Each structure stands twice: as C-alpha cells, then as structure tokens.
C-alpha cells in the first residue's frame, strides 16, 4: 500500500479485509477533486454520472471519525464545487459577492458533514452499509433544505437533483420532488464510495465480490426503479397554443437594465414577426420574459400603445415582465417584480408579484455592512418587496371557452420547491418560468436554470416553458424532455401546442411531508449517534 494510505487491523480482524484510511493530505486532494468533478455533472457540461463520483470522493475523504475534521473536508469540497458552479455570480455582481456566496454555501455543507460524523457512530448501522447510506442521503437532503430556506430566504442553487435532468433518476421527482432525486444521487455516491473502500481494503477477490455484489444490485435497482415511475404527458383538459418571444439585448451585463426601451422594442418586434409567421395559427397566449418591459405600460402611455399593438398583431393576450412601485406590508415604499397579463382592448387584467426576491440582487439586506464589501449594492436603489399571492395567472381562452390557470414563477423562484407546488395545487395546468439572464453573460446560469425547469416539469406533471430575455429559453414536456430550445444572446421565437394537465403527482400530494420526515429521521440518527456511539475514534 502506498505511503499516502495506511491500513490497520479492526478489533475482530478478517484475513480478507483491512481498514482503508486515506492520509490527511490525500483526503484534502480527494475533497477538492470531488467538488470540481461534481460541478461537471451540472450544465453546461451535464455529465450527470459524475455527480455520483464527486459525492463518492467526499464520502471517502470523510473516513476519519472527527466532526471538526470532516466539516473542514466538506467545506473544502463545497468551495471547490460552488466557486465554478456559481461563476455567473462573479460575472453579474463581482468577485467579492461571488466568493462570499460560495464560502457561505460551503459552510452549510460543512455543518451537514459534522452531523453525519456524529450520526454514523450509532451502533445500529455502523456495519450496515445500505442503512448507513440511507442515513447519509437523508442528511444530504436536509442540508440542501437548510440551504433552500436560510439565510436571507435561502439559496438552493447546486442541489444534486438539478444535475440529473438527463439521467435515469429524474422520474423520482414525480414521487417526492427534488429531495427524492438528491437522496437517490447521494445514496448512489455513498455506495460507490463503499465499493472503492472495499476494493482498496480487500486482499482476496472472493471478499471483494461478496461486498461488491449486493451494493451493485442496490444501485441497479435504484436506477431501474426510477425509470418505472410514470411520467405521463398527454393532455387532460385540452391544449394551449403558446408562443414565446426572446427579444434579446444589445450587450450582456447589467447595462441591459439601462436599455429598457430597446428591450421593449425588441420584444414587440419579435411578436410582430411571430404574428406574420403564425398568421391564422390561432395563438392563445404569448409569453414574454421577466423585465421584457421595464417601462411599465400601466403607467406609461407609449409603452401601453406598444403592448396594444403587439396583442392586436398576435391576436392573443401577452404575459410579460415589468415592475411597479407601491407600499410593502410594513407600509414602506417598495418596488415589485411583476408578471402582467395584457389583453387587447383591456390592458392589464392581472398581475403576479415575485414572492422571493433575490437577496443582494433585488433587495439588499444589511445594506450598510454589504456596502463595505461591494459598492454595487447601491445600484439597487429601491428594494424589491415580496408579493403575497400564489404564482397563478388566470388566462381567458376564447377557443376553449374557459379560463386556463397558468403557473408563473419568476426567475430564481424555480429553485424553490414550495412556490411551484402551491401554484400547481392552486390549479395551474401549465408552468411558465419567465427569467432575465442578461446579467450573467455567456456563463452556465441560464442552462442551470433550464435544468431546474425540467425537474419541475416532471415533479408536477406539467408542460413547462422557460422564456428568457436572452436565452436559454426552452419548451419542456411533462416528462422533462426538451422539445425546443434557443441559444444565448440571439432573438428567437418558439411556438408549441402544449397539453393542459390537471392531475396531481405523488409529489404534489405529499407536499412537505418527505422533507419533514427526513428532518425527523436525521434528528433521530444524530441522537442515536450521540447516545450509542463509541467513545474511541473509529473509521466507519
């Protein structure tokens, strides 16, 4: 065995097995490599099997029975993962916010690693690989849930589930949403780590085979079982003929916000061109992205005239992004990020306001402290306040003779489980994710977001349209497959006849119960580790 590894005999030695223990130096290398490898499982590369490899390297790196050491190892893994994964934050707001966000997210992972170190000491699963893997997967899911809600409303980017849009585990989203996919991914990574440890420690082929066979069988069953989960796509309440317009901007970056008139004109022009191409096609709804008209047509007559022209040309209402000013729930002056339904001859008939504004981007918490790290916080002069209504827009459809409920979560809201589930339970028959990716340039952010939209389509059994100012936009079937997509920084339009669906998935019916159950089980596992764990240090 190399100098980088040590082997010691267990309390009841077996002739065919030794304990595999990486040196501390190798442990750090494995952790950093694991984080970098895990990022490649996400878009733009989308090498989804490498999520298992990245997690496995972390598990191997956390062999020592020290909560503090394993927290440090997991923090290093997290930094190596989040720095490249969130590179788009550097492109949008600068190096200091990007570093701060990456370090903070890695810190939450470190807390989860400490919990895992204590929990795995429990005697009930100390030598039961599959049961230990279940505990590890549950802790991973709960750690992701913490990142989703805390601090400042949470930041769920980088959940393992979002790396599996092209993988066989995606259908599990229909059973218990992103937590189910993340759990299965983490479990497979844990079992892969076990195979590595067994291969390194076993001295005979027979011992290696005895340990590997059941674990390989479990991994195969998880993958095969996921593919058997039904993900129906057929229409249940008719269909909607939808068009989406990606107007584009003249240059990437925050400067796009200063060109509101140009952006509005681009989307009007795209709609007029679409109307010529789709003459007689009978559109039911035209979708524009977030910030497609930052000149609010409810307050600006020229902008209103352009919206009237576009709706008349398309022969259909337009759902578009703009903003508005008013008082928040505390009576303070605030701004709102809105999606507005504009109907020919009526103007604005409905408005949904974003419920979870992005911290340090759309509103600035602890502004005085944040200013010490980046003067860019003052670019946000008026904080965006959260809306109070669920993300459902009622769209009258004359052809169907009824109102169609369209779920409309804005931009980063697609990363939050509860908002989209509330919209589906509120009657949404179709999902729309309007977003503005102009600030992120040619980074992976927009494709990462498309992967999230694909998971949400499966989770809720709804056809989904992601429409961006600059791309990537896409039309997604209820099984997560991409029917049509656009490129970055190019004007484009998409049309589709999308099935309307009303049935609820198992994930919708279960709601928060899976994550609540996982949290309870993690608490019990942690308690069991504290109470029954051995006092002497032992590799698990």
Tokens of 307: 């919206």
Structure tokens at 42: 């996400």
Marked catalytic residue, from 290, 362, 413, 447: 290
Q: Is 183 helix (H, G, I), strand (E, B) or coil?
A: helix
Query: Sheet containing 464-468: which strands, arranged edge to edge?
Result: 392-397, 402-408, 430-435, 464-468, 474-476, 482-485
Which residue has 């230990």 as its token pair?
A: 132
CB burial of residue 210 (10 Å; 0-12, 13-18, 19+) = middle
Cα 428–Cα 153–Cα 360 angle in degrees, nearest 5: 110
Q: Give the side-chain half-sphere CA count within 13 A for 417.
A: 28
Crossing angle of helices 67-85 and 50-61, in 10° steps, is 150
Q: Are 369 and 357 in contact (CB under 8 A)?
A: no
Which residues lie across from 22 on neighbouring strands? 5
The whole-angstrom separation of Cα 301 and Cα 499 is 36
411 in catalytic set: yes
Query: What's phi and psi for 75, nearest 5 deg?
Result: -60, -45
Of all residues in the chain, what percent are helix, strand and coil, respectively (each to 5)? 50, 15, 35
Q: Kind of pairing, strands 19-22 and 239-246? A: unpaired
CA dist 100 and 86 (Å) reads 11
CB 111 within 8 A of CB 143: yes
Is 354 one of the catalytic residues? yes
Report which secondary-structure segment, H or E, holds 242. Answer: strand 239-246
Which ranges in 150-203 belong to alpha helices (H)? Answer: 173-201
Taking Cα atoms as reference points, which of 483, 393, 399, 374 lies closest to residue 433? 393
Other Cβ atoms within 10 Å of 91 Cβ, number: 18
Q: Exactly one of 105, 144, 188, 354 is catalytic; which is it?
A: 354
Cα gap 344→379, rounded to integer Å: 35
From the list 144, 188, 362, 411, the catalytic residue is 411
Strands 474-476 and 464-468, bridge-based pairing: antiparallel
CA atoms within 13 A of residue 505's CA, in its CB half-sphere:
31
- ∠96-101-103 over CA atoms, to 5°? 95
**CA–CA dist 60, 78 (Å, integer):** 15
- Supply the residues annotated as catalytic: 290, 354, 411
């Amino acid at each position: 065995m190399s100098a980088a590894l040590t082997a010691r005999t267990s309390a009841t030695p077996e002739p065919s097995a030794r304990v595999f223990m990486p040196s501390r130096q190798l442990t750090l290398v494995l952790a950093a490599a694991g984080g970098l490898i895990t990022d490649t499982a996400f878009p733009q590369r989308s090498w989804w099997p490498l999520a298992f490899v990245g997690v496995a390297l972390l598990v191997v790196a956390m062999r020592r029975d020290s909560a503090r050491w394993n927290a440090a190892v997991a923090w290093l893994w997290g930094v190596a993962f989040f720095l490249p994964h969130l590179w788009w934050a550097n492109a949008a707001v600068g190096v200091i916010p990007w570093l701060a966000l990456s370090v903070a997210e890695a810190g939450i992972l470190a807390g989860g690693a400490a919990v895992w170190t204590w929990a795995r000491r429990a005697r009930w699963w100390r030598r039961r690989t599959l049961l230990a893997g279940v505990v590890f997967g549950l802790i991973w899911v709960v750690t992701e849930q913490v990142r989703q809600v805390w601090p400042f409303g949470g930041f769920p980017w980088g959940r393992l589930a979002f790396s599996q849009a092209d993988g066989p585990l995606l259908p599990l989203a229909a059973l218990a949403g992103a937590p189910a996919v993340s759990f299965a991914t983490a479990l497979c990574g844990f079992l892969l780590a076990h195979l590595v440890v067994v291969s390194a420690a076993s001295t005979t082929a027979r011992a290696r085979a005895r340990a590997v066979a059941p674990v390989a069988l479990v991994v195969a069953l998880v993958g095969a079982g996921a593919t058997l989960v039904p993900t129906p796509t057929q229409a249940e309440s008719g269909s909607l003929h939808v068009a989406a317009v990606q107007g584009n901007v003249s240059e990437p970056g925050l400067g796009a916000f200063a060109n509101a008139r140009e952006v509005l004109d681009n989307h009007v022009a795209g709609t007029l061109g679409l109307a010529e191409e789709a003459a007689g096609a009978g559109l039911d709804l035209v979708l524009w992205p977030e910030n497609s008209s930052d000149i609010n047509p409810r307050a600006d007559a020229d902008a209103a005239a352009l919206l009237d022209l576009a709706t008349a040309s398309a022969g259909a209402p337009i759902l578009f992004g703009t903003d508005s000013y008013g008082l928040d729930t505390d009576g303070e002056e605030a701004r709102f990020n809105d999606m507005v339904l504009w109907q020919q001859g009526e103007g604005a008939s409905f408005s949904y306001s974003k419920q979870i504004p992005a911290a340090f981007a759309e509103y600035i918490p602890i502004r005085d402290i944040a200013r010490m790290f980046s003067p860019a916080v003052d670019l946000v002069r008026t904080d965006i306040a959260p809306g109070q209504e669920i993300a459902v827009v009622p769209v009258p459809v004359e052809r169907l003779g009824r109102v169609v409920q369209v779920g409309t979560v804005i931009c980063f809201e697609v990363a939050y489980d509860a908002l989209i589930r509330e919209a589906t339970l509120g009657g949404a028959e179709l999902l729309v994710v309007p977003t503005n990716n102009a600030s992120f340039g040619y980074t992976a952010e927009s494709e990462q977001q498309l992967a999230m939209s694909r998971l949400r389509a499966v989770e809720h059994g709804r056809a989904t349209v992601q429409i961006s100012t600059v791309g990537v936009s896409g039309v997604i079937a209820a099984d997560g497959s991409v029917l049509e997509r656009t490129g970055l920084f190019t004007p484009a339009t998409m049309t589709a006849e999308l099935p309307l669906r009303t049935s609820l998935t198992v994930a919708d019916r279960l709601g928060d119960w899976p994550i609540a159950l996982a949290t309870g089980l993690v608490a019990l596992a942690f308690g069991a580790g504290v109470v029954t764990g051995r006092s002497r240090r032992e590799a698990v």
